[in-house]
Amino acid sequence: MVNNYENYAFSAKFAPIFDNTKVYNNMSKDIRINKGLDINLVGAAEQTTSKAVLSNVYALNLDDFHGITPKMLVKQGAEVKAGEPIFYNKSREDMQFVSPVSGELVEIVRGARRRILTLKILADKSQEYVEHKTLDLANSDADSIREFFLKSGAWPFIKQRPYDIIANPDATPKAIFVSGYTTAPLAAASDYVLQGKEAELQAAITALGKLTPGAVHVSVGKSGNSPLAQLDGVTVHNISGPHPAGLVGTQINKIDPINKGEVAWTIAPQDLIIIGELLLTGKFNAERTVALAGSIVKAPKYYTTKIGAEISTFLYASGVHQDKYRLINGDVLTGSRTHPEGYLGFYNNTVTAIPEGDDYEFFGWNKPVFNKVSTTRALTFSWLQPKKKYDLNTNTNGEHRAFVVTGQYEQVFPLDIFPLQLLKACMVKDLDEMEQLGLYEVAPEDFALTEFICISKQPHQQIIREGLDLLHQEIG
Amino acid sequence: MGLKEKLHTFRVKNQDKKWFPVFSGFHTFLFTPNETTKHGTHVKGADDLKRTMNTVVMSLIPCLIFGMFNTGYQHYLALGEIDAVTGGFFGSGFWTWDNFILGFWKILPLVIVSYAVGLAVEFVFCVIKGHEIEEGYLVTGMLVPLIVPVDLPLWMLAVAVVFGVVIGKEVFGGTGMNILNPALTIRAFLFFAYPTWMSGDKVWVHGAVDSTGTADAISGETVLGYLAQGNTTDLAQKYDLADMFYGFIPGSIGETSTILILLGGLFLIFSKIASWRIMLSAVIGSLVMGLIFNGIVAAEWIPEYSKFYSLMSFEYWQHLLVGGLAFGIVFMATDPVTGAQTNRGKWVYGFLIGFMSVMIRVFNPGYPEGVFLAILLMNVFAPTIDHYVIRGNVKRRLKRLKNATIYPKVTEGAEALKTETV
pLDDT in tens, A67-112: 999 999 999 999 999 999 999 999 999 999 999 999 999 999 999 9
- d(CA B149, nearest CA chain A) in Å: 29
Calculate how close chain A gets to B105, using CA atoms only, in Å.
27
pLDDT at B201: 78
Name which residue leads in pLDDT, B307 or A82: A82
Beta-carbon neighbour count of residue A309 at 10 Å?
28
Q: A399 contacts in B (CB within 8 Å)?
A: 28, 33, 35, 48-49, 132
CA distance B190 to chain A (A): 26
Tally of domains within chain B: 2
CB-facing half-sphere around the CA of B416: CA atoms within 13 A:
10
User: A with B: how many residue pairs have Cβ under 8 Å apart?
Assistant: 268
From B33, B55, B397, residue closest to A378, measured CB to CB: B55
Contact state of B396 with A462 under an 8 Å Cβ cutoff:
no
- Is a pLDDT exceeding 70 seen at residue B34? yes
pLDDT for A14 equals 41
CB contact under 8 A, B39 and A462: yes
Test B48 with A171 for CB contact under 8 angstroms: no
pLDDT tens-digit readout, A224-277: 899 999 999 999 999 999 999 999 999 999 999 999 999 999 999 999 999 999
Of A240, A255, A183, A216, nearest in space to A415 by CA: A255
Domain assignment of residue B43, yes or no: no
Quick check: B291 pLDDT over 70? yes
Chain B positions in Cβ-Cβ contact with residue A404 (cut-off 8 Å)? 49, 52, 136, 175-176, 336-337
Cα separation, A464 vs B5, in Å, equals 37
Using CA atoms in the order A434, A438, A442, A443, what is the torsion angle rounded to 10 degrees? Answer: 10
Whether B21 and B144 share a structural domain: yes
The average pLDDT across A130-142 equals 89
Model confidence over B76-111: pLDDT tens digits? 998 888 888 888 888 878 999 999 999 999 999 999
Domain boundary among B229, B254, B269: B269
Most A CBs within 10 Å, among B27, B32, B61, to test the A interface: B32
DSSP string of B107-159, one letter each residue: HHHHHHHHHHHHHHHHHHHHHHHT-PPPTHHHHHHHHHHHTS-TT--HHHHHH
Query: Across the interface, which of A360, A375, A403 has its CB nearest the CB of B31?
Result: A360
Q: Does a structural domain hold residue B403? A: no
What chain A holds in terms of domains, given with CATH numbers, is 25-39+135-281 (3.40.50), 55-123 (2.40.50), 396-476 (no CATH)
B145 found inside a domain = yes
In which domain, by residue range, is B150 found? 14-32+48-269
Q: Band of the pLDDT at A28, cuts 50, 70, 90?
A: low
Q: What are phi and psi of A81, to 5 degrees?
A: -95, 165
Cα–Cα distance, B324 to B316 (Å, whole number): 15
Quick one: B142 and B249 in the same domain? yes
Residues of B in contact with A332 (CB under 8 A): 41-43
State pLDDT tens for residues A308-341: 999 999 999 999 999 899 999 999 999 999 999 9
B404 is a domain residue: no
Helices B97-129 and B49-79 cross at an angle (nearest 10°) of 140
SS3 B178: coil
Inform me whether the pLDDT recorded for A2 exceeds 70.
no
pLDDT tens-place string over residues B144-163? 999 999 999 999 999 999 99
Q: Are A75 and A281 in contact (CB under 8 A)?
A: no
- Give how far A173 is from chain B: nearest CA, Å: 7
Residues B83 and B108 grouped into a single domain: yes
Percent of chain B with pLDDT over 70: 95
Q: What is the pLDDT, as a whole number, of residue A20? A: 40
pLDDT digits (tens, 9 = 90+) for A441-465: 999 999 999 999 999 999 999 999 9
Pick the last residue of a domain from B243, B269, B295: B269
Who among B28, B39, B47 is closest to A399 (CB)?
A: B28
Q: Do B53 and B77 share a domain, yes or no?
A: yes
Which of A361-370, B24-33, B41-50, B210-219 comes out lowest in average pLDDT?
A: B210-219
Q: Give the least confident one: A15-24, A37-46, B23-32, B324-333.
A: A15-24
Same domain? B291 vs B226: no
Q: Are residues B168 and B231 in the same domain?
A: yes
Shortest distance, CA A336 to any CA of chain B (angstroms):
8
Pair B259, B302 in one domain: no
Q: Are residues B298 and B243 in the same domain?
A: no
Of B232, B254, B269, the last residue of a domain is B269
Q: Are residues B283 and B223 in the same domain?
A: no
Which of A394, A399, A418 comes nearest B33 by C-beta?
Answer: A399
| B27 within domain boundaries | yes
- Whole-number pLDDT of residue B214: 74
Kind of pairing, strands A159-161 and A301-306?
unpaired
- Which candidate, B258, B275, B291, places its Cα nearest to that of B63? B258
Domain-embedded: residue B406: no
Residues 6 or more apart in contact with residue A210 via CB below 8 angstroms: A140, A141, A142, A145
Q: How many CB atoms lie within 10 A of CB B126?
A: 22
Whether residue B168 sits in one domain with residue B232: yes
- Phi, psi torsion values for A103, nearest 5 degrees: 165, -160
pLDDT over threshold 50, residue A17: no
> Over the range A208-236, which residues count as b (16 or more CB within 10 Å of their CB) and which as e?
bbbbbbbbbbbbbbbebebbbbebebbbb
B-chain residues near A456 (CB < 8 A): 49, 176
CB–CB of B410/B397 below 8 Å?
no
Within a domain: B422: no
pLDDT the model gives residue A238: 95
**Are the Cβ atoms of B42 and A262 closer than 8 angstroms?**
no
What is the pLDDT at residue A437?
A: 95
Indicate if B171 and B28 belong to the same structural domain.
yes
Three-class DSSP category at B249 = coil
pLDDT at B415: 44
What is the reported pLDDT for B233? 62
pLDDT given for residue B1 in this prediction: 66
Q: Give B196: exposed, middle or buried? Use CB within 10 Å, 0-12, 13-18, 19+.
A: exposed
Q: Are residues B203 and B321 in the same domain?
A: no
Higher pLDDT, B313 or B55: B55
